[in-house]
Amino acid sequence: MEKLDGLNQINAKEALRKKSLGELGELFAIKALVDGEFDKIRNLNDEQMNEAFADILCEKDAKRYVISVKARNKYQLDGRLNTRYNLGTNAHEKAKMSEMKYNAVAYWMAIQFDLHEYSVFFGSLDSLGGARAISVDKCESGQIGVKIVDRKRHYFDFSFYKNVMKRNLTSRSGNGDVV
């Protein structure tokens, strides 16, 4: 039973890490929008947690944007580039509802965090051609979206947020206990 409690603590810490990374991403997204001279920026999660599709509402040049922010580690556990940021179940349908609710156009922001730097990509949901994920390698090559922040230093102690290789929790000791 002690081993299961340890596993639950690891799962709880991982959930907290992902939630915190998402919140950090929203703050960096707002900063990028401010720097890009967007107006009337609202974090919709301040009003209603987990709004369908949208995290941020803002305006620029008489155009309203409803934006889904996805923050991820740049690299996966195995060291490969994390190339796809999933938008979630029924993202396009939820985006249509947000567009109608806020009289805005659906966009996405992908915040790519590394140990010392971050980049921000920005594009319309339509640019994904119906895909349910943001293809960061296509962002990098300029095929979709635009890079509005390029490898800028973030000054955070990123040790809590980075992907960390977990030891094999399902291996068994000689007496059959999960270790």
Evaluate whether residue 174 is within a structural domain.
no
Given a cut of 70, the residues of the chain with pLDDT beneath it are 1-4, 6-7, 164-179
> For residue 15, what pLDDT is reported?
86
User: At which residue do the structure tokens 């947690």 appear?
Assistant: 49
Residue-wise pLDDT tens digits, 117-128: 999 999 999 999
Residue among 46, 31, 41 nearest 66 (CA): 41
Residue 179 lies in a domain: no
Q: What is the pLDDT of residue 152?
A: 97
- Write down the pLDDT at residue 164: 63
pLDDT at site 8: 79
Q: Is residue 167 part of a domain?
A: no
User: How much is the pLDDT for 2?
Assistant: 59
d(Cα 12, Cα 79) in Å, to the nearest integer?
24
Question: Which domain range does residue 92 map to?
Answer: 2-160
In this structure, what DSSP letter does residue 130 have? Answer: T
Cα end-to-end distance, the chain, whole Å: 11
Q: What's the pLDDT at 169?
A: 41
Query: Is residue 165 in a domain?
Result: no
The share of the chain scoring above pLDDT 70, in percent, equals 87
Number of domains in the chain: 1
CATH of the domain at 6: 3.40.1350.10
